[in-house]
Structure 1
Amino acid sequence: MTVGVLALQGAFREHRQRLEQLGAGVREVRLPADLAGLSGLILPGGESTTMVRLLGEYGLWAPLRDFHASGGALWGTCAGAILLASEVTGGSPSLPPQPGLGLLDITVQRNAFGRQADSFTAPLDVEGLETPFPAVFIRAPVITRVGEAVRALAQVGGQTVHVQQGRVLASSFHPELTNDTRLHRLFLALAGERAY
């Protein structure tokens, strides 16, 4: 099985390292052709407005939707969660609404936990894990609305920060910035349902 990490910008190298720790085949994805034969794809944290622009420049919007439609598993972390959402709020009121892939029936508020200086780590009780996960929040979004088909898997301070809808996961935090590989292992299990 081979999984991909969107490698346009952000923390893609750290995701790759966690996946390789678990013995997965990993491919960095920059062009539509890079999606061929993948079982799953991680959209990493970074700067969501930059990612939106680069997805357009590299012609990835439709191929990513096609990848999802054909059964590929997706996991968006921090900015990647914003890209997957059906609705995005927050940011500057002078900016136009930020487009997204619309593959996850959630509303995400950008930078809801504050600026870089407000970053923190919290022990997170995640459905499916026996002990708390050390979640790293950096300029993190918050999931303010969860659609009927979406399962909320973790909260911090009463705010939803980790969800699943079918073969799509989204996390407000950065699981790749810890040495704990349990969430990456769960993603590989999800992607493995489509293994070629």
Structure 2
Amino acid sequence: MIIGILDLQGDVEEHQLITEKTFKEMNIEGTTKLVNVLEDIKDCDGLIISGGESSTIGMHLKKTGIYEYIKTSGIPILGTCAGLVLLSEKTDQDQPLLGLINASVKRNGFGRQRMSFETDITFNNEEYHGIFIRAPYVDEISGDVEVLSKYDDKIIAVKQNQYMGIAFHPELTEDTLVHKVFLNEVLDYIA
């Protein structure tokens, strides 16, 4: 299994480390690969889009052709923070969106950088410690979108088909729960 990690912004190395730790815990033969241009993604079984500035990431995806590849390939994607915004079909800014999850997302929904926080949440029915940095939240869903987590009555994690978007940063913890859920999705997809 090869998991691509978009190498543009965000905690790229941290996502590599936690994904490799998850491979070991799940006893999966796998590796991570940095993705920056179209050729990089073509042998990947899944993709992680980490945090950063979602409009800049979206423009990069379009410029490199990765955007169209993602839209047509069906590759499973984990989007964290800015990745959640990109996976949604609507947000409160004019920017490129993949539209793979029937959700509307409020960028920086929990406030600016100084309002970042950590808190215990329930993710996928399990206890988890969430780290929120200029975090978005989902303010509307439709169709078969599954809610994986809420905080303060706000939706902070969703899944639709093979796409999972979360508002917090699992790569900044030692807990592999989020990456386990994602790798199980990839295993189902490639089976």
Which residue of 2 is the match for residue 98 of structure 1? 95
Equivalences, count: 185
Which residue of 1 is the match for residue 26 of structure 2? none
Q: Match of 2:61, as an amino acid?
A: L
Query: What is the alpha-carbon distance in structure 1 between the residues aligned to residue 81 and residue 62 of structure 2?
Result: 20
1:3 paired to 2:9: no
1:167 paired to 2:165: no
Candidates 169, 175, 185, aligned match of 2:180? 185
1:37 paired to 2:43: yes
RMSD: 1.3
Show structure 2 runs of 5+ residues with no match. 24-29
Aligned 8 A contact 1:35 1:67 in 2: no
Query: What is the alpha-carbon distance in structure 1 between the residues aligned to residue 37 and residue 135 of structure 2?
Result: 27
1:79 paired to 2:82: yes
The aligned runs of 1:122-137 (5 Å cut-off) are 122-129=119-126, 132-137=127-132
Deviates more, 1:114-123 or 1:21-30: 21-30
Which residue of 2 is the match for residue 120 of structure 1? 117
Which residue of 1 is the match for residue 153 of structure 2? 158
Cα deviation digits, residues 32-59 of structure 1 (max 9, x gap)? 1112222211111111122122223322
1:142 paired to 2:137: yes
Show structure 1 runs of 5+ residues with no match. 91-96
Fraction of identical pairs, as percent: 34
Which residue of 2 is the match for residue 93 of structure 1? none
For the residue of structure 1 that corresponds to 2:189, the secondary structure is coil
Q: Match of 1:20, as an amino acid?
A: E
Moved over 3 A (4+): none
Query: What is the alpha-carbon distance in structure 2 between the residues aligned to residue 8 and residue 163 of structure 1?
Result: 23
